[in-house]
Structure 1
Amino acid sequence: MSRGLKDGEEGQAQYRAPRVNLSLNDFNLEKRLGEGSFAQVVQVQQKETGRRYALKVVDKHLVLKHKQTEYISNERKLLDQFDYEGIVRLHFTFQDAASLYFGLELCPNGELYDQIQRKGRLSPEDSKFYGAEILLILEYLRQQGVIHRDLKPENLLLNAKGHLQLIDFGCAKRLALNQRSIAAAVSSSLQNSKRTASMVGTAEYLAPEVLRNEPVGYAADLWAFGCLLYHMLVGKPPFKGASEYLTFQLITDGEYSIPGNVPEAAQDLIRSLLAGEPSHRLGTGEKGLHDVKEHKFFAGIDWQNIRQQEAPSIAPPPAEPQSSADDFDWEWSSMAAALPSAKDSDT
């Protein structure tokens, strides 16, 4: 196995989320939650404890074939270090001959994207609530010197109480060392030598500096935050062309329009976040994200207690065909039977 998929590199602290001695046989599959290019996520119940998790199953062969070991290792390390209720918690890891497994905190109410789809668009009050929770997550990440680089409604899940938790840190990038002050970290993100110009993220949410192949800092997450606010309030992202190329062209040209039924305060905030020049975006000044929190759109938000307040109502999902779950249960059982003694040693 590639060294990039292993933990315990010399000089690093021990991981908080343990490497456990488990296999697929230790879990009951309940349903599929999602899938990506190199992994799928399923809801499982641990037989011994009865606890439920979102189990991320990463295909080793595909990861190695597409040279994605750095992204998988990066996500594991970052999730282990984070300690904030707005970020999904990593509980344990294990592996077998075919896959890596991440035992993640289960968010049973699905994606923010699904709530937007089911409701058509979110109300200004619900958008304000979710926007405030996202902003607090970005504030925590900035304190850690991290940019997410793939902020979108699909990567924001709703926990059992309906509050948001951010997932998918494979594209995330640490911009500053932990011992640096927050001010120094923000300052370093505006210097080319301390930023990254990798083309990562999702087309509709990519900041223009990414498309211009310029170094990227914290302002890229602010751009995505502006796209998120627009998406919640309007029901679709601000930049959506007939093809990926045309979407990129719209982003580069800054071509978007805000419907008149969007509140004026929200329109002003969106425009201040979707500034083409990164240094002109609200939240990049000396006061940082405090400038965004003070914007009139967020008037009345109790920043200290919002995560203890009642969250917006959840639109339930449509009924799922039983056959798809049965088919996958057979697949899961076949995988487990093929690897009855596969236990973790490196993850």
Structure 2
Amino acid sequence: MSAISPAPDTVDLDAVRSVAGPVHRAVATVIEGKDDAVDVAVTVLLAEGHLLVEDVPGVGKTMLAKALARAIDCRVSRVQFTPDLLPSDITGVSVYNQDSRSFEFRRGAIFANVVVGDEINRASPKTQSALLESMEERQVTVDGQTYPLPRPFLVMATQNPIEMEGTYPLPEAQRDRFMARISMGYPSAAAETTMLETHGAVSPLEGLSAVTTAADVQQQIENIRGLHISPALRQYVVDLMAASRSHRMLRLGASPRAGLQLLRAARAHAALAGRDHVLPEDVQSIAVPVLAHRVLPTGEASLAHRGTADIVRDLVERTAVPSGR
């Protein structure tokens, strides 16, 4: 793995740490004992992606999203997804103004730097699809007019497992637009005891204040884009994508968008680790959160109780790292 060597310094790593460190610490004060989940959330933020948090009710999904939003001094909107929510509630709608005798566009909840979508899979597929353009192109088109969204732009959505009552499974196109998916899991006994002692009296979000600004976050997003990725490492990502499309346990492999987002996440992961170049270990560390929700298992895999996370780990272990610069 040492065959893939770095290029000269092109990224201000101190500036990245000055933004990422305070955000991570602020969120960690609210989310007890879930450093891995916080790590992925901050990585997605600096990679300018979108985050899907999936787990059973009551384990802190919405708390994580709200904590990350509060740590940044920016425009934040909250959308509670329900079966009667309309696409125009999210994107906005043109309203006729009798005084000016013209239509005026009233912006919806999507016009914010951080959009917290609670229980996204309780909305109808039609409403879910309202997010497709905004998440991919960072713009909204209504009545033939296109409106750009503010930067940075991050959608953090929570969803309950599809086995829960009253949920609609997210379509593949929607899942593919989320850079990463994480599960919170139940807290450890010690973390749950601490939570009962501290969270029972007052909400931890009340004491959380912004530690950075939207402009600073956007600056570091641009900064990280200069991180070096060698041709051999790009080939490694291509090989991973190809392996997913031919794996006997998968009926749908990773898309080209998945490869692009894996590289963006790997850049942010490397910068957070204090390196100005991406290593195979960066790709491997972030592969499960980035790829597992994008692939579909075969019936054979389901019968064998092989989850997509296990299959992605198998892909990472079996795919050789190319040598070269």
**Structure with more helix by fraction:** 2
Q: Which has the higher contact order (CA 8 A, sep 6+)?
A: 2
Do they fold alike, i.e. is TM over 0.5? no
TM class by shorter chain equals: under 0.3
TM-score, normalised via structure 1 length: 0.24
